[in-house]
């Protein structure tokens, strides 16, 4: 070990003595400036913010550089994550962990990045305004509940949103101010899918469970004023999507899905519905449908089932390891994503899976 030692004689000793004298002088001057009082005083800087530092911004550092993020957390973005309030139910119970709520969410739709709706268990409907999620409406009991379908939420605008579910209030509508149950013919229904070509041309799919199984399937249509039965039969459609009023697909199961039901895809040409593709294997049925164009339509479902249409014919296959595929969407014709059970995201490239993540 090397040590630096000051000799007791010579210039270095004089330097250390001089520094000691200067330090003692500074202490004495500070004591005089305080008036020699033995009591201490706390100087409070009124920096007009809500943190515990002495600067004029709302973060927790000691400089006057305002992050201008309109919140008082430790990041530089205006996300409001310092003010997350728990969502509470009318019976007095409130979520504490996770925040703002922990109900399973089944569907999402948005008109813009600052106007997004999500719905889920216990009749939960949430809204995102670009900064934070807030609860819009909670309908406890059996009045209404969303089905586990990602296609159950659709709107023509932020003030014209439809939410599909089950119970006496099978379809909810948001008019920009509040949600209300819509009157539908017959029922009660379990409604799984909703899609529209416009505000006056909306389709909803599901089945009526007022009778013993197999439950009769139905497709409802909304003309901007009221819902009417558009189709009914021995086919339970779960998902619906279209590219125009005369090119609409409904996918689901022939027969009762807990029995020997098989997959079926129905097509609407603007005049009538007809089956365009079926799967013969039991328990292989469809849950969701989406298309990028009239020549690029995908359907996914139970037992890892998927099907694709190029506009002239359908082909199908299964994804190993996926017990159920519940939703499908694509960024392009060669970049299609399907999600579902078994914690898997499947990335498709026509006509077979490209990779499993």
Look up tokens 């139905």; give the residue: 218
For residue 83, the model assigns a pLDDT of: 58
Residue 159 sits at φ, ψ, to 5 deg, of: -115, 20
Contact 107, 118 (CB under 8 A): yes
- Residue 46 CB-density burial (10 A; 0-12 exposed, 13-18 middle, 19+ buried): exposed
How far from 55 is each of 24, 71, 80, 246, CA to CA, in Å? 31, 15, 20, 63
Helix (H, G, I), strand (E, B) or coil at 47: coil
Angstrom distance (rounded) from CA 157 to CA 115: 9
- Indicate the SS3 state at residue 289: strand
Bridge partner residues of 346 (DSSP): 338, 356
Please tell me the distance from the alpha carbon of residue 313 to that of residue 126, in angstroms, as a whole number. Answer: 39
> 276: exposed, middle or buried (C-beta count within 10 Å: 0-12, 13-18, 19+)?
middle
Q: What sign does the CA torsion over 37, 38, 39, 45 have?
A: positive
Binned average pLDDT, 10 residues per bin, the chain of 357 residues: 38 47 45 42 42 52 48 46 65 76 81 90 84 73 56 92 77 90 82 94 88 80 95 90 96 72 93 95 89 95 92 91 82 85 53 37
pLDDT at 40: 37
Q: What is the pLDDT of residue 200?
A: 97
Q: To 5 degrees, how large is the angle CA 16–CA 17–CA 22?
A: 100
């Amino acid at each position: 070990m090397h040590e630096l030692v000051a000799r007791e004689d010579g210039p270095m000793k004089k330097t250390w003595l001089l520094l000691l004298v200067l330090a003692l002088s500074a202490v004495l001057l500070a004591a005089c400036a305080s008036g020699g009082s033995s009591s201490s005083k706390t100087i409070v800087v009124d920096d007009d913010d809500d943190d515990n530092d002495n600067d004029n911004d709302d973060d927790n550092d000691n400089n006057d550089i305002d992050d201008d993020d309109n919140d008082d957390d430790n990041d530089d973005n205006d996300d409001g994550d310092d003010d997350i309030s728990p969502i509470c139910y009318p019976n007095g119970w409130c979520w504490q962990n996770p925040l703002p709520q922990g109900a399973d969410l089944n569907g999402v739709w948005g008109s813009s990045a600052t106007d997004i709706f999500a719905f889920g268990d216990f009749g939960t409907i949430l809204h995102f305004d670009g900064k934070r999620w807030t609860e819009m409406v909670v309908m406890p009991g059996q009045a209404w509940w969303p089905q586990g379908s990602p296609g159950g939420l659709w709107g023509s605008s932020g003030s014209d949103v439809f939410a599909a579910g089950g119970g006496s209030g099978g379809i909810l509508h948001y008019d920009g101010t509040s949600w209300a149950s819509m009157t539908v013919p017959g029922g009660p229904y379990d409604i799984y899918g909703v899609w529209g070509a416009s505000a006056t041309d909306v389709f909803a799919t599901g089945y009526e469970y007022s009778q013993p199984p197999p439950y009769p399937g139905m497709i409802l249509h909304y003309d901007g004023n009221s819902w009417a039965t558009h189709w009914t039969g021995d086919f339970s459609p779960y998902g619906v999507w279209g590219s125009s009023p005369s090119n609409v697909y409904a996918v689901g199961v022939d027969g009762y899905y807990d029995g020997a039901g098989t997959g079926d895809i129905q097509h609407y040409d603007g005049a009538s519905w007809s089956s365009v593709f079926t799967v013969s294997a039991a328990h292989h049925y469809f849950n969701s449908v989406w298309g990028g164009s009239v020549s690029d339509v995908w359907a996914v479902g139970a037992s890892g089932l998927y099907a694709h249409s190029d506009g002239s014919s359908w082909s199908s296959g299964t994804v190993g390891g996926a017990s159920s595929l519940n939703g499908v969407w694509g960024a392009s014709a060669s970049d299609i994503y399907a999600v579902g059970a078994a914690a898997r995201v499947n990335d498709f490239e026509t006509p077979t899976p490209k990779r499993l993540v």
